[in-house]
Each structure stands twice: as C-alpha cells, then as structure tokens.
Structure 1
Amino acid sequence: MKQKIGILCPSDSEAAPFLADMEGVTETRKAMLRFYEGTFHGVDVVTLFSGVCKVNAALATQILIDSYQAGAVLNVGTAGALAPGLSIFDTVIATEAGYHDVSPEILTEFHPWLPAPVFPSDARLLALARQAAARGEHPVVFGRMVTGETFLADEGGREAIRAAWHPLSVDMETAAVAHVCYVNQVPFLAVRTLTDTADQRGAACFEQNCDKAAWIAKEVTRTLLETWRCQGL
C-alpha cells in the first residue's frame, strides 16, 4: 500500500467495526483523541473516532493530515435520510458535501472561495467507490450530503433542508471533514449508512439502528479499499 488512509468515524460505535478488523494496531494520543494505526484488510490505515459535530471532525482531520500523513481521508459512519425513496440501512456515498447551517456566500465570497457552496469528493475515490458498489452486497446510492450541528428529529427541519439543498442525507460532520481536506488538497470521500428516515426518525430510531448501520458502512468501505488495493494505489 503506497498511502496511509485516514478513517474518521464520529463515535466509538461507528469506529468499533473497523478496530475489530484491524491488525498490528498501535495507539497514539493527540488533542484528547486516540489514533489507531494498523492494517485493515491489507490496507494501511489510521482510524479514530473524532467526537460528534463539525469542530471535532475538523480537528481530527487536520491531525490525520499533519501528524499521520494521510494520503486520503474517509469519513465513515451513519446518517439520516432526507431524500424520498431511501430506506434504513441503505448507504450513501457523497459526491459532494455542504453545510446546511452556513450561509452559502460565506464559502464562496470568502476563504476558501468555492465556486459553489459544496465541497467535491475526490474523483478517483468516487470512481473506485462506484466499482466497489457494483459488486458489493449492500444497497449504495451516490449524491449530496449536508452537515449541521443539530440532530434533526422533526419533519419541519428536514423539509426546510430538502427544499434548500436537495441532499440524500444529513449528518453532523461530513462537510467539515470535506472542508479540511479541500484546503489541504487531500482526497476525501464519505460513506454513511442510514439509521433513520422521514417516516422512522428520532434519537430512539438512531440508537436502535446505529450498530448495524455502522457495520454496513464498514463493509462498504472494506469493499472500496479492497478495490483500491487491487489496483495498486
């Protein structure tokens, strides 16, 4: 493996499936976070759970890049569905990510002067993800993810975001990870498995489905990284 891959999960339950599959693990600590280096199905990785919300995710991403020389960062975990037609345990892979709680002009008229208020996923990683999804066992869809600081339990909040952004899913970290990767010119991709929908939502639904969704997200990521490894990247 030519590059070490950073795998950033928001919570311990989302990171646990990766840690269970890793070999030769060593642990280091920085900024009150634990970073686990080792191999995941033959791929050199450094895995951690960052803590939820945008600042925690951004902090962890910058450390992955600066201290562990991550050649790419994968943000992996769970999300809530926003687009109609999606089901619990479907997996969304981001083509791009944006903040639903930040005014768009903040990112287009000021640093980092984006051409549009979304951060694109890495084209090569997306191509590999599409190859992996075609041979995987779990339903995968590709599209926009949005991120904000609030867990969306009510339909009113979901509908407002749908109308403004037309995303497939919502979470509390992805755009922050994408933001840090963008300004550092490090490849980014997000893999998020759905724990709740408009019809089945709320904290209880998330808690009920989180462990299985996290395992599915790990499996989708495993297939992606096996494709990466087989192509000698």
Structure 2
Amino acid sequence: MIVITSVLREEIVGAFRELMPVLENGEILKRPYMRGLIGANEVLLVYGLIGKVESAMMAQALIDNFHPKYFIHCGGAGIINSERKIGDIVCGTEYIEHDIKFRQKQIKKIKASQTLIERISDVYNKVILGPIASGDIFVDSVEEKTRIFNETKAELVDMDSAAIAKVCYENDVEFCAIKIALDKSVEGSTIEIQQNLKKLAPFPSAIVAEMLEKHLL
C-alpha cells in the first residue's frame, strides 16, 4: 500500500487521473479518500492535510488504518533558496521544522526514503534534490524567508512535510515529499499562489503517478 496525500485537491489531481480501477471511496477523520490501483501498486489518495498538527494527525490515522509501506506527500511550496524559480520541482531529501527554535540545535533532520528519491528521479530527471523546511506560519516576507534559509539551507518551505516525515519516521514508514515552487515567499505571495495553483500544483502528483506506473514498490 502506498499513501499519497496533499493539502488541496488541486495538488493531488495528477494522481487521481491515473487511479484505475477505483476499488473504494471512503472517509477518514472527515477527509475523503479514494483507494485503487496505479500500475500494479495499490494506492490510497487523501487530501486535506493543512498545517503541522493536522498533517501529523492525519498521517498517524492513515498509518494506523491502512499500514502503508510508503507515504508520499505532494503539492506546492514557497521558495526560500533564491536560486530556485517558480515551477521548479523539489524532492525533499530531508525535513526540518524551522519553528522549533528552542530545540533547533538538538533536532535531527529526518531523511527521506532513498528508494522513493531514486524512483522519482528516474521518471523526472529535472527534479531538484534538497531539504524542505516546514512550520506553522505562512512565509511572505524577505526577513522571514532569509532567516529560515540561513537556519536550514532548505530549498522550499511549507506547513506540512516535516510533520508527516516525523510521524513516518516514528512508525518505520518510508516517506518523501515532492513539491513544486508556487511563490517566492515574499510580499504578494498569496497572489502568486492564486495565479499558479491550478496550472502548476498537479505536476508533483502526476510525476508520482508516472513513477508508480513504471515501478512496482
């Protein structure tokens, strides 16, 4: 079983399109899920993981109920490495909670599944590999963007990946997040996201679907 999640429906639609046959529709913690096959892989698709608390809660519920071997999180994120540009796709190699400052020196960065990184890189050779930072704030200022990059050296920032990575690590489930840059994490980022969401957000889940069509995990 492979669980694929996102924050918004637009971010997981690339995988929804390739799910056939559909074996089950249901609900978990008031979020809809769909179970079916992509290639020869049994897959569960869920969206509605918003922020670190909800993401961790949902990740644990999905692991307890469906016992996945792999957990993949897809969607959009903000740029904090100034070398990145809108539309760049990053597969996280490690995950950092940037807003736990009092523990910052003690936190170990959680590593991504090497198997998933290799399979994703195999089907999309333009993917950028690097850290992803997460926190319960929407980053829309140069000051905050600079601070987070200086502390984490992450490529992108979101509000969910590191929380899911932590839950998966504690449960011995292999995890990775694949994110597309939707905004520059500065003033006006909300407008950038609105402009780019429908056009760009489905790409990470489409890459995951292509990977599952090609590889049996």
Mapped partners of 1:166, 1:71: distance in 2: 29
Mapped partners of 1:27, 1:131: distance in 2: 31
Q: Secondary structure at the residue paired with 1:35?
A: strand
Deviations 1:162-205 (A, max 9, x none): 11111100001000110000000100011001101257851010
Offset, 1:29: 1.4
Q: 2:31 aligns with which of 16, 33, 53?
A: 33
Mapped partners of 1:201, 1:121: distance in 2: 31
Structure 2 equivalent of residue 98 of structure 1:
96
Deviations 1:49-89 (A, max 9, x none): 13310111111111221111211100111111111221111
Structure 1 equivalent of residue 76 of structure 2:
78
Q: 1:220 to 1:104 in 2, by over 3 A?
A: farther
Q: Secondary structure at the residue paired with 1:167?
A: coil
Unaligned runs of 5+ in 2: none
- Does structure 1 residue 176 correspond to structure 2 residue 163? yes
Structure 2 equivalent of residue 6 of structure 1:
3
- Does structure 1 residue 117 correspond to structure 2 residue 114? no
Please identify runs of 4+ aligned residues in structure 1 that moved more than 3 A.
198-201
Structure 1 equivalent of residue 199 of structure 2:
212
**Coordinate RMSD, CA, aligned:** 1.9
Q: Secondary structure at the residue paired with 1:62?
A: helix
- Does structure 1 residue 202 correspond to structure 2 residue 178? no
Q: 2:174 aligns with which of 187, 197, 217?
A: 187
Q: 1:163 to 1:70 in 2, by over 3 A?
A: same
How many equivalent residue pairs?
A: 216
CA contact (8 A) 1:92 1:192 kept: yes
Q: Secondary structure at the residue paired with 2:12?
A: helix
Structure 2 equivalent of residue 45 of structure 1:
43
Offset, 1:98: 0.7
Structure 1 equivalent of residue 13 of structure 2:
16
CA contact (8 A) 1:91 1:217 kept: yes
Unaligned runs of 5+ in 1: 109-115
CA contact (8 A) 2:95 2:111 kept: yes
Counterpart of 2:115, as a letter, is: R
Q: Secondary structure at the residue paired with 1:22?
A: coil
Q: Secondary structure at the residue paired with 2:202?
A: helix
Q: Alignment identity in percent?
A: 23
Counterpart of 2:13, as a letter, is: A
Q: 1:9 to 1:91 in 2, by over 3 A?
A: same
Mapped partners of 1:63, 1:75: distance in 2: 15
Q: 1:106 to 1:28 in 2, by over 3 A?
A: farther
CA contact (8 A) 1:89 1:216 kept: no
Mapped partners of 2:199, 2:187: distance in 1: 16
CA contact (8 A) 1:105 1:117 kept: no
What pairs up with 1:137-156 in 2 under 5 angstroms?
Answer: 139-156=126-143
Mapped partners of 1:106, 1:87: distance in 2: 28
Mapped partners of 2:214, 2:187: distance in 1: 33
Structure 1 equivalent of residue 119 of structure 2:
128
